[in-house]
Amino acid sequence: MDIMPWTALIFQSIPEEIIIITLGLALVGEYPRMRGIVVVAIIGALFSFFFRRLPVSFGIHTLTVIVVFTLLMRLTLRVNLIKGLVASILGILLLGIIESISIPLVSSLTGISIDVALRDPWLRVLFPLPDEIILGVMAYYCRRRHFSLIAGSKLPELEVKEEKEDGK
């Protein structure tokens, strides 16, 4: 059980959520307004903040966050469920990859272990800054250049098609 301090929620988690949602959506060819992304990020970060206080393993936390992001993207941004799911998975997957490279590097360069960083509220905010910068640059580039891995028409819609009432 990880007890995240409020400083980390405001200064690390919310910005990180904005970045991974923006990046994930761009990679599936969706470029909604930033206001909507910020709303999804704040709600998602608050959910994560309180969910982390429960005695649930971290893997369950990650899967739950993917579901919550997907539903929030659907409800708030009107992104179809498949695109939202893929965007959530891609964003979190890229975060995990970049963190697995940068955090050991930052730890090695600073001499501060991840355990020490997690116990200090301000180190907890500063420690992941390099991976947030990398992901932020990626998100900015993908959004600015409309770069996506999956063209908009490549993912199926999970929308209910209404039949015409005139019988045609």
For the cut 70, the answer to whether the pLDDT of residue 11 exceeds it is yes
Helix axis angle for 34-51 and 14-27, nearest 10°, is 120
Domain regions of the chain by residue span: 6-147
For the cut 80, the answer to whether the pLDDT of residue 166 exceeds it is no
Q: Rounded distance, CA 79 to CA 72, Å?
A: 9
26-65: pLDDT as tens digits:
999 999 999 999 999 999 999 999 988 888 877 898 999 9
90-111: pLDDT as tens digits:
999 999 999 999 999 999 999 9
Q: Rounded distance, CA 137 to CA 23, Å?
A: 9
How distant, in Å, are the alpha carbons of 16, 17, 86, 107 from that of 94?
12, 12, 12, 20
pTM for this one? 0.86
Phi-psi region of 4 (alpha: psi -120 to 50; beta: other; left: phi over 0): beta
Q: What is the pLDDT of residue 88?
A: 97
For the cut 70, the answer to whether the pLDDT of residue 160 exceeds it is no
